[in-house]
Structure 1
Amino acid sequence: MKLHQLQALVAVADTGSIRAAARLAGLSQAAVSKALRELESEQQLALLQRGASGVGFTESGRKLLKHARLIVGQLEHAHEELAELRGEHGGHLSISLTPWIIGTFLPETVLRFHEAMPEVRLEIFEGFTAVALPRMRDGLIDFAVSPFTASMPEQEFEVEPLFDYASCVIARKGHPCADSGSLHELLEQNWAVNYTATSYADVMRNLFWNHGAHVDLRRLHCAHSTSLLLELVRNADMLSYCPRPLLVTEAVRDWVVPIEIAERFEISRLGIITRRNVVLNAAATCFVDCLLTVIRSRARSAKAENRALFEHLTRLF
């Protein structure tokens, strides 16, 4: 396998077509097609499914793509680090942040980061853990600031703990069930919850099953972004489940209320998650340093909004 072949494979995956991949790579369409045909010929496997609607990947292609992303990504990081040693600036940093971090510490962190590294292009994903880990595994993001569990594969990921925090059931202000005292009183309501196929059992266990509660699946609606989830809570009278630190953010503090039920949920732990044995580049290290500086500063602050936030957080560093 040659590097330009793997780069062509990644470009097709990112753009969805050979023509768009050629534009992205600054090559001719014929050059990209040739690189892919040579790769398939060398491996004696069909990697792509070509059709009128675009290009898809076979099972063999998807497996190779995971390795190709890591190889291409590591090469890009190497180029960036060598450029830094030459005194050049620039590069790209891709990160995933859990929603309540976005609503609390992100703006000030980004301002500090851009002061320190103004030439670095920053790409930020709103990342629930079940979405962030596959992206990191495939080399699409450099690190994540996300909750983690004991079941997270230690052979793949390393974690620098930041906080412990609790979660709660939420509703809009004025919801008929806002004063309920037990989870079992809420099972006939519609729920907006985030989960994936792999995280479904963990979410259901923590939210319902550990408390002897079972909700009709027809009342369970999966929302794949925080904005969508909150929209359903605000305007469709659904209930949801979220970290308590989210309640003090500007996006929800004026209209969301926690339902103070008797049941308690598992304490969550949030940290900086990286691929094991991967050294963060200068841009990633700088962003982490900026984030930790902002957290320490906010923790020492006497402002009411900061005191309210840290009432819901246990610092671990």
Structure 2
Amino acid sequence: MRLQHLHLLLTLAETGSLRAAAETLNVTQPALTKSLKQLEEEFGATLVLRTPKGVRLAPAGELLAVRAATVVRELDRAREEVAWHTQNTRGTVTVGVSPAAGLLLAPPALSRFQARWPNVMVRLVDALYPKALQQLRSAELDMALGPMPAAGIARDLQAQPLVQSASVIVARRGHPLARARRLQDLQQAAWILTGPRQGPGDPIHLGFEEKGLAPPRVSLECESFSTLLAMLPTVDMLALVPKRFFDSHGPRIGLAAVAIEDPLPPTTIHLFTRSDAPLTLHAQRLLEAFVHEARLAQRAD
């Protein structure tokens, strides 16, 4: 199997057309068909299905395409790293960060890193799990910073706990429950769920049921914190967010913290990497910068 075979499969998946794939790869359609036949013979399976509207990957092709995308990205990363060492080209590191990680660790870590590695471009990608871990597995990310999924992680990933992030309940200024002081005072509240269920933004973690109270009523789900910021000042709902996120954005847009006396669960920010793929040198140095800043933040608390 050649690398061009992997590019062929990925291009077919992207274009859905033999003709379009041939044009993209700058080969003739008969040559493309011949290469596809060789790939299918090697794997002993049908990889591409022809339909009246074009082509699509067969189940076996979809399985291979996932692996192929990872292989291609790893080879691209290897070429970039070698060129960075031998030709002094610009390196790139892509990091998925949760909102809490972005506020707590990213600014000081990037300042430290870029002072030492000015020719390395860092791409920060807003990422909530489980999407961030899926992107890490497919090699779209070099590393990811965020909370541990409720179900944990598989052996293909490794996680390093970095720092705890405090949480706070927030509402619009003037909300009828803004002055509540006990969890039981919030039984009738409508909640906004930020991120996935069972994630750190799920009010289920506040322990209503453990106290013999009815579970919180989620009336709205927001995938992003930008959507949350747009909604909260205009509705009579509560949300559970990282304290640093509220401190940075809440007061200036009319939000208030609901200072209940019951303890709120903190979120531990982890640093996730793949177990089966080494980091590039500059990615490893950025990882070390995140770890260093996490230690400083922990001591400050």
Q: Over alpha carbons, which structure has the higher Rg?
A: 2
Look up the match of 1:247: 246
The CA deviation at 1:275 is 1.2
TM-score (norm 2): 0.78
Taking the TM superposition and a 5 Å limit, the aligned residue runs for 1:106-185 are 106-148=106-148, 151-153=151-153, 155-185=155-185
The whole-number CA distance in structure 1 between the counterparts of 2:32 and 2:182 is: 60
Contact in 2 for aligned 1:183/1:213 (Cα 8 Å): no
Match of 1:96 in 2: 96
Question: Kindly tell me: are residues 202 and 258 of structure 1, through their superposed partners in 2, closer, same or farther at Cα, counting changes over 3 Å?
Answer: closer
1:96 Cα deviation from its structure 2 partner: 0.3
2:92 & 2:123 partners in 1: Cα distance? Answer: 8
Q: Taking structure 1 as reference, are residues 183 and 315 closer, same or farther at Cα in structure 2, changes over 3 Å only? A: same
Superposed displacement of residue 121, structure 1: 4.2
Q: Which runs of 5+ in 2 are unaligned?
A: none
Matched residue SS, 2:161: strand
Partner letter of residue 76 of structure 1?
D
Q: Which amino acid aligns with 1:156?
A: D
Larger deviation: 260-269 or 107-116? 107-116
- 1:145-193 CA distances to partner (integer Å, 9 max, x unpaired)? 1122574225222223221233222112222211123334334433221
Secondary structure of 1:92's counterpart equals strand
* Cα separation, partners in 2 of 1:76 and 1:286, compared to 1, 3 Å: same
SS state of the match for residue 130, structure 2? helix
SS at match of 1:220: strand
Q: What is the Cα-based RMSD across aligned positions, in Å?
A: 3.7
Verify the 8 A CA contact 2:190 2:216 in the aligned structure 1.
no
**TM-score, normalised with respect to structure 1:** 0.74
Q: Distance in 2 between matches of 1:125 and 1:204?
A: 25
Amino acid at match of 2:260: I
Question: Secondary structure of the equivalent of 1:280?
Answer: coil
Give the drift of 1:37: 5.8
CA distance in 2: counterparts of 1:21 and 1:210, whole angstroms: 57
The verdict on how the C-alpha distance between 1:101 and 1:204 changes in structure 2, with shifts beyond 3 A counting, is closer
> Retained in 2: the 8 A contact 1:192–1:238?
yes
Aligned residues: 294
Following TM superposition, by how much is the alpha carbon of 1:106 offset from its aligned partner in structure 2, in angstroms?
Answer: 2.9
Deviation, 1:274, is 0.8
The 1:271/1:205 distance shift into structure 2, 3 A limit, reads same
Identity %: 24
The within-5 A match list for 1:1-317 is 1-11=1-11, 27=26, 30=29, 35-36=35-36, 38-40=38-40, 42-43=42-43, 44-47=45-48, 57-148=57-148, 151-153=151-153, 155-196=155-196, 199=198, 203=202, 205-207=204-206, 208-211=208-211, 212-216=213-217, 219-249=218-248, 251-254=249-252, 255-292=254-291, 299=296, 314-315=298-299
Gaps of 5+ in 1: 300-309
Q: Distance in 1 between matches of 2:69 and 2:168?
A: 38
CA contact (8 A) 1:162 1:315 kept: no
